Structure 1
Amino acid sequence: MVGIDLRNTQQTDGGQVRLHVRLIDALLAQRGHLIGWVPLFLACGIGWYFAIRFEPSWPFMMTVLAVSLLCTGCARIVHVSCSPILLALALIGAGAGLAKWRTESVAAPVLSFRYYGPIEGRVVGIDRSASDALRITLDEVFLNRLSPDRIPKKVRISIHGDMPAVPVRPGQRLATTGHLSPPSGPAEPGGFDFQRHAWFTQLGAVGYTRNPLLRLAPAERGGFGLLVFEARMAVSRAVQATLPGEAGAFAAAIMSGDRSGMSQVTLSNLRASNLAHLLAISGLHMGLLTGFVFAVLRTILVLIPGAGLRLPTKKIAAVGALIAAGGYLALSGGNVATERAFTMVAVMLVAILLGRPALTLRAVAMAAIIILILQPESLTGPGFQMSFSATTALVFVFKYLRHANWQHWPKWTRNVLSVVISSFIAGIATAPFAAAHFNQIAHYGLIANLLSVPLMGALIMPAAVLAACLAPFGLAWIGLFIMGLGLKWILWVANLVANQDGAVGHVISPQWFVLPILAAGLLWMVLWQGRAKIAGVLAAGLAFFIWSQATRPDILIADSGGMIGRMTEQGRALSKPRGDGFVTGVWLENDGAPITQEIAGARDGITRGLRRYQVDFGAWTVLQVSGKTALAEITGCDGADVLISNQSDEITRPCEVFDIERLRLTGALGLSLTDTGGLRVNAANAVTGPRPWTPQSDDNTIALSFVMDQNGPELAQID
């Protein structure tokens, strides 16, 4: 017989019992703080839905929701230490269900081909493109020879050439002749998916026109949304008429959300100095506005004899601030960032009405829950991530600083220190997300914010409120004049900081899973009660380490078939110095080296000929040709293993061919060598998967990623 040491068995059992008890104690210690975990697990479910490479069917989602309900029911009967785990699983399932429901609820037709012809529609949006062209969004669209069920709900047109002879006004019905195409996919595999963004805004086509705009009907009185849009644009025109120049355009952006007057130079300076957040109507503006209104109303009520004793002045001021916030939300156009800011402010003001602390992690969590329920797609955007990272970090840090003894410090130094700490914490919290989405770090951003943010609260936003109050009496110019002084200072600071040597640093794009790991680690550090907080620090450190090891595709191919980029020792070389400017800009930014296309187009590494560009890559040759004539001159594949063309190719060739028709289904391509010398071909639409917002084909293998060896391609979905 085999002898058994009962003492060791008892010790092992005792260790297991102690570990079990510790786990239960750790879970019980989270009681009273669980609300903060709700948006985290909702986000896990939403993130899973957008990360998977297939569209889950409704039977599948109903099964997930049924399991979630089962977990919710079981959470009421199991031990109190286990119920949070079951509720977490239920929230993950609920998050996935919310994302699926939102995707289906906003479904609208998307143009499936390139269109040229008459375009008619009603103006519901006015802004500017990255090339500084006036851009209009139309609804109630008419396209020639298309049935109503195939016409997109909204289209967006950039106006190139001379400015339109017809002043563009909200609600006008305009007509022109122009080009439209489906929303473009990612510029590279795993990149930003504009198709998905357009799906949730119901934008079914984008394009441009060089022809005059014709006004078919004057501005019409539409629904509430159109009336608000008309009011916004009227405010913007009035502000810019009173306060001309970039300061007036800045004031119009802050007061009405209309950025169409801002030049690209100013926008670039604001980004480089980390002051671009002052332009967007977000939490800072909403917080400053409501804080100012709250303070003014409460002061007025207190100054009324006896009112401070008989009336709940704090609650009355909160109601007034909430009304002001609602008006600001409507006037700003109600974009996602402003809706998010309003939700956060509203939660905090309601907390005051209920006699609860306003600035707590509980209030931040409630705001996040509301936004994720209403707009689950916002989770993947930089606005949601940066605003909540900043707010969470500020509330978390100031919760501990509140207990510090500052009484021996002079009051003015406490105010200055508060601003410095706030800017520093917000900057540190948002920096990783800004770097991941925009591939740049503003090195002097803290200095610029210290010189600008206090002015927003002390001068600019109060002056905006003053201008709004004096506008009915024709005296808005007084507030706008004061506002302009502060805005001119901010623009001066932005220009000064942006033009310093080394003002902006550039970073490589991280892998898709880096931000989820980083966010989970930081939230664990904030939410977990106990010494296990250190696990959050380790997770964040792991995310940064993985980011530091990120690599870029060796070869990138645009979905137009007209551009190829190869990574060399000097950086990415481009086949041409012009063309596909937006795509090449994204490539270079994601490389962490946003040089000009002209410089990249002159680098070695690509053999350039007349409309013919060749890359010799290991044992492989990639050949890209532009135009019908160049394609017709190709015999077979001319020794190439992969042939790229921006034309339709109906010839059967002895190599892997990606013509324009196939590229429309695969999207952009990324090529790299495998460890065995094979060629890995990764398609953007294979990374995205067959989702409602991606092009669909009868042959699903056409959009698959695969690995090629000397025996030919081996189709395989690449994870």
Structure 2
Amino acid sequence: MAGRLHQRDLRHWLVAAGLRLGDAVAGLWQADLAEILLAERDRWFLWLPVLLGTGIAGYFLLPFEPALALLRWAVATLLLAIFALAWRRQAAVWRVPLIALLAVLAGPWLAAERTWQVAAPVLEHRTGAVWIEGRVREAEQRDSGYRVLLDRLVIGSLGELDLPQRIRVTLRRDGDMLWPGQRIRLRALLSPPPEPALPGAYDFARAAWFRQIGAVGYAISAPEVLRIEETAGWRDAGLMALSSLRQDISRRLAESAKGAGGAIAIALMTGERGPIPDTTDQDFRDSGLAHILSISGLHLTLVAGLLFFVVRALLALSPRLALHYPIKKWAAAIALLGAVTYTLLSGAGLPTLRALVMISLALLAVVLDRRAITLRSVAWAALVLLVLWPESLLDPGFQMSFAAVTALVAAFELWGPRITAWRAAADGAPLRLALLWLLGTMAASFVAGMGSSFFAAYHFNRVADYALIANLLATPLVSFIIMPLGMLAFLLMPLGLEQLALTPMVWGVDLLVGIAHWVSGWPGAVGYMPAMPVWGLAGIAGGGLWLCLWRRAWRWLGLAGLALGSVSPWLVPVPDLLIGNDGRLIAARAGDGVHFYLSGSVPPRSFAGEVWWQRLGAPPLYPWPALRRNDTEGRSGVDGSVRCDPDGCAWRHDGFLVALPKRPQAITEDCRHADAVIAQQLAIRYRCPAARVVIDRFDLRRSGAHTLFLDRQTGLRVVTVAESRGRRPWALLQGHGLPGSADTDEAGSPRNHFSVSP
């Protein structure tokens, strides 16, 4: 990420950060730590959600599922100890560390409770074509079809105890659109929720566990609508009605607004991003404007802010109301109602819920005559979400949005008095006010972008280098044209007049698309980086929080964590060889140590191939040597480090030989000479005397994708998806119990396979 900066700017930034850090260390060395902590006593509460989040993160990092009864016992014991100390009014010095310990322990307890609260059956193996009956819970239009979420299922011959709670199926674009509440019947191919493409990559199966999605698949027949399913209870009826309303709004908007502009208008109003073309989505990611497409704090703040100021201005037109009634509080209440309505219509995703909690606290503060936006309100919002949905801590949107908001509020606390003074000095001078607004917008975009970019780099291995410029161009357009017109379209929709606002809104969105396309086309618009380790993310989160939550000079010690986390991707080794869980996709480092050979298409087109390429740091690629049907001689790669013939392939790197046999008769010879034998599509049922690592198709099916690290001093090291996920409820091990998957040969002798036992 820093490689994209100019050397002079980077040197100045490092010098300034070093001076700040040196002053902080010197001040801390001379001061008494207890005295500093007591002086920051009013900031202790801000660390409560941090400690809770630390415990939740620890739970998800565990390689095993902790005993829920033990966690309950530990939390109850600590609570009793704290109450006992408070009752006797003794040993008050121990209350703070005990409360801190309680917050840390409450994290894994809440996460474990949530894990078993949502527990539901998960499909164990892929199925053939099966008949499925189910109720449509959600129906989302995609660029090439529809995606539906089904519940109340009947799947082939599966028994009731094995039926998933929900499944997600992709349909072709033919026939009438499905609606929530309809019971349908179709024929589909199903599979368990996919595991990570690489160790440490995004785990969709874990996210699906908490949504109670037990299988995914695609339909091979047109759906047959059977009837309208009856709802059970007021909550189910409300969810179905809300989902139908969202879909009806999306349909009406799609009929009125076409093209990429119309698709983005739908996304901004209902949260349905499926119809957005892939090229447009890519432009928004490359330009740093992807956050605009996901409804979160920016959109909800604009909705609530516009409602607040418009309602207050209208009420102020009446002198009687303005002088005798609390119109400011009335406007805050109406803005809160509008924010809740917008959240429900947009799907109530985690970033939107986070923003709703923040907005609600700010508007309630207005009603109670308190300061609206503080770090304490941010802490309360984090506490509410982490207690109700502990798994939200892992969501990229949660991390990025809280990082941006925390950085913005902390920066305002630091620079607020100066901004107020500058505003007072510029009173009555329109040019000065405009310049102050422009500088404030630039500063806010820079601070928010810096706060969220570290987490974006961790999750997506990429940084949009011109995001600041793109946001400066796009923010006024979104704030003053697109979102106000979207609100007006909502208000006109019951009258059937939404086209009056929707047409100019789409014009503004088309201009926004043009900005994204223009900026994404600049040279060096996107910078890639290798996968960041978990400890690097911890350093960034800890350093950033230390910098933002404290007030005194020791806050600058947080720069050390930010610096360490920023360089961490280059401090850990990158895999030299990667094998997919089905054995078809493989990547190997070339002889120059920079390029990688990749099987399949180059550049990668598959989802797994793109994930690999990004997590490797977007290296230049060579195509894997491909044999023609009638080839009898071998073919070599560009630099000769990979050579393939009809019997298989051989890869040489850093003094190691890795064999990849394709025929059973080649395995015997490879086992005598190779350091590692990887039979992606074959089974190896005997020992390999020379090979230190042996992997066959059963190992890949059981343990998922494998990565190999080669080092002359430490030798071969293998990391698998199963090893990185651990023995968790959502980590379903594929191939468990399949014939021939045991680590013994036909005579019962142990094989020297590298694998993770289920």
TM-score by length of 1: 0.89
User: How far does residue 590 in structure 1 lie from its aligned partner after superposition?
Assistant: 0.6
Q: 1:301 to 1:631 in 2, by over 3 A?
A: farther
**Residue equivalent to 2:95:** 83
Whether contact under 8 Å (1:382, 1:437) holds in the other structure is yes
Q: Assess, with a 3 A threshold, how the Cα gap between structure 1 residues 460 and 576 changes in structure 2: closer, same or farther.
A: closer
Q: Partner of 1:671 in structure 2?
A: 708
Structure 1 CA distance for aligned equivalents of residues 343 and 729 of structure 2 = 31
In the alignment, does 2:226 pair up with 1:209?
A: no
> How much is the aligned-residue C-alpha RMSD, in angstroms?
3.0
Secondary structure in 2 aligned to 1:174?
strand
CA deviation string 1:246-300 (max 9, x = no partner): 1111111111111121110110011111111111110100000000001111111
How has the CA–CA distance of structure 1 residues 643 and 170 changed in structure 2, closer, same or farther, with 3 Å as cutoff?
Answer: farther
1:668-707 aligned within 5 A: 668-674=705-711, 676-695=713-732
Aligned to 1:659: 696
Cα distance in structure 2, aligned partners of 1:703 and 1:652: 12
Deviation at 1:87, TM superposition (A): 1.4
Among 509, 513, 523, which residue is 2:531 paired with?
A: 509
2:39 is the counterpart of 1:29:
yes
| Equivalent of residue 281 in structure 2, options 249, 262, 267 | 267
Further displaced range: 218-227 or 494-503 = 218-227
Q: Does 1:570 align with 2:615?
A: no
**2:200 pairs with 1:163:** no
Does the CA contact (< 8 Å) of 1:281 and 1:337 recur in 2? yes
The equivalent of 2:20 in structure 1 is none
| TM-superposed deviation, 1:544 | 2.2
- The match for 2:371 is 357
Aligned partner of 1:622 in structure 2 is 658
Q: Are 1:588 and 2:613 counterparts?
A: yes
The 5 Å alignment of 1:420-439 reads 420-439=442-461
- Aligned amino acid, residue 119 of structure 1: I
CA gap of 1:585–1:33, structure 2 versus 1, over 3 A, is same
Does the aligned pair in 2 maintain the 1:166–1:215 contact within 8 Å? no
Q: Which moved more, 1:497-506 or 1:656-665?
A: 656-665
SS in structure 2 at match of 1:207? strand
Q: Confirm whether residue 612 of structure 1 aligns to residue 648 of structure 2.
A: yes
Distance 1:53 1:301 in 2: 59
Note if 1:112 corresponds to 2:112: no
Contact 1:664 1:695 survives alignment (8 Å): no
Residues in 1 aligned to 2:542 and 2:208: alpha-carbon distance in whole angstroms: 28
> Which SS does the other structure have where 1:538 is aligned?
helix
- The 3 A distance-change label for structure 1 pair 595 and 548 is closer
Q: d(CA) in 2 for partners of 1:543 and 1:495?
A: 31
Contact 1:109/1:153, CA 8 A, preserved across alignment: yes
Aligned pair in 2 of structure 1 residues 39, 416: CA closer, same or farther (>3 Å)?
Answer: same
Tell me which residue corresponds to 1:391.
Answer: 405
Task: Kindly provide the amino acid, as one letter, of the partner of residue 122 in structure 1.
Answer: R
Tell me, in whole angstroms, the C-alpha distance in 2 between the residues paired with 1:386 and 1:71: 36
TM-score (norm 2): 0.85
Over residues 212-240 of structure 1, what are the superposed CA-to-partner deviations in whole Å (9 max), with x where a residue is unaligned? 33333358766211211111111011112
* Residues 145-154 or 79-88, more deviating: 79-88
- Post-superposition offset of 1:210: 3.9
User: In the TM superposition, what is the alpha-carbon distance from 1:510 to its structure 2 partner?
Assistant: 0.8
Within 5 Å, which residues of 2 pair with 1:135-284?
135-159=147-171, 163-217=173-227, 223-284=237-298
> Would you say the 8 A contact 1:74–1:86 is kept in 2?
no
User: For the structure 1 residues 60 and 333, does the alpha-carbon distance in structure 2 shift closer, same or farther, using more than 3 Å as the test?
Assistant: same
CA shift for structure 1 position 525? 1.4
Q: How far 1:614 sits from its partner (Å)?
A: 3.0
Partners of 2:65 and 2:170 lie apart in 1 by 32
SS in 2 for 1:513: helix
Instruction: Identify the range of structure 1 (48-57 vs 18-27) with the bigger mean alpha-carbon deviation.
Output: 18-27
Determine if contact 1:46/1:99 at 8 Å carries over to the other structure. yes
Choose from 421, 425, 438 the match for 1:408: 425
Output one character per residue of 1:455-502: Cα deviation in whole Å (capped at 9) or x when no partner: 211111111121111222221111112211221111110111111221
1:369 is displaced (CA, Å) by 0.5
Match of 1:303 in 2: 317
Aligned partners of 1:621 and 1:213: how far apart in 2?
A: 52
Structure-2 separation of matches of 1:595 and 1:220: 55
Structure 1 residue 716: Cα displacement:
11
Quote the Cα distance in structure 2 between the aligned partners of 1:128 and 1:549: 43
Q: Percent identity?
A: 35
Match status 1:371 vs 2:385:
yes
Shift of 1:124: 2.3
Equivalenced residue count is 687
Moved more, 279-288 or 186-195: 186-195
Alpha-carbon distance between aligned partners in 1 of 2:624 and 2:270, rounded to the nearest angstrom: 39
| Distance of 1:85 and 1:698 partners within structure 2 | 48
Task: Name whichever of 166-175 and 602-611 sits farther off.
Answer: 602-611
Structure 2 CA distance for partners of 1:39 and 1:603, relative to 1, 3 Å: farther
- Alignment partner of 1:190: what SS? coil
Point out where structure 2 has 5 or more consecutive residues left out of the alignment.
Answer: 1-27, 427-431, 627-636, 744-749
Residue type at the aligned position of 2:459: H
The verdict on how the C-alpha distance between 1:135 and 1:373 changes in structure 2, with shifts beyond 3 A counting, is same
Tell me the distance in 2 between the aligned counterparts of 1:487 and 1:529.
41
Structure 1: 5+ residue runs without aligned partners? 1-17, 705-710
Tell me, in whole angstroms, the C-alpha distance in 2 between the residues paired with 1:349 and 1:78: 39
Inter-partner Cα distance in structure 1 for 2:145 and 2:707: 31
Instruction: Work out the CA distance in 2 between the residues paired with 1:373 and 1:334.
Output: 17
Q: 2:141·2:274 contact (CA, 8 Å) conserved in 1?
A: yes
The structure-2 alpha-carbon separation of the partners of 1:618 and 1:693, relative to structure 1 and needing over 3 Å to count, comes to: same
- The answer to whether 1:489 aligns with 2:506 is no
Aligned to 1:7: none
> Do the aligned partners of 2:486 and 2:505 also contact (CA within 8 Å) in 1?
yes
Change (3 A) 1:317 1:139: same
CA change 1:75–1:281 in 2 (3 A) is farther
User: Structure 1: how far apart are the matches of 2:445 and 2:276?
Assistant: 25
**Matched residue SS, 1:537:** helix
CA 1:343 to 1:598, structure 2 compared with 1: closer, same or farther past 3 Å? farther
Does the C-alpha gap of structure 1 residues 421 and 651 become closer, same or farther in structure 2, counting only changes over 3 Å?
same
Counting only pairs closer than 5 Å after superposition, residues 542-557 of structure 1 correspond to structure 2 as 542-557=564-579
- Are 2:475 and 1:441 equivalent residues in the alignment? no
Q: Deviations over 1:379-400 (max 9, x none)?
A: 1221111101110111111122
* Deviation at residue 170 of structure 1 after TM alignment: 2.8
Give the partner amino acid of 1:333: G
CA contact (8 A) 1:183 1:205 kept: yes
What is aligned with 1:15?
Answer: none
Which stretch shows the higher mean deviation, 388-397 or 468-477? 468-477
Would you say the 8 A contact 2:53–2:107 is kept in 1?
yes
**Aligned pair 1:561/2:583, yes or no?**
yes
Aligned residue for 2:319, secondary structure, equals: coil
**Take 1:242 and 1:166, find their aligned partners in 2: how far apart are those partners?**
18
Is the 2:144–2:173 Cα contact (8 Å) retained in structure 1?
no
Q: Write the distance in 2 (CA, Å) between the matches of 1:278 and 1:598.
A: 36
User: Which of 328, 331, 347 is the matching residue for 1:317?
Assistant: 331
The answer to whether the Cα contact below 8 Å between 2:596 and 2:621 also exists between their aligned partners in 1 is no
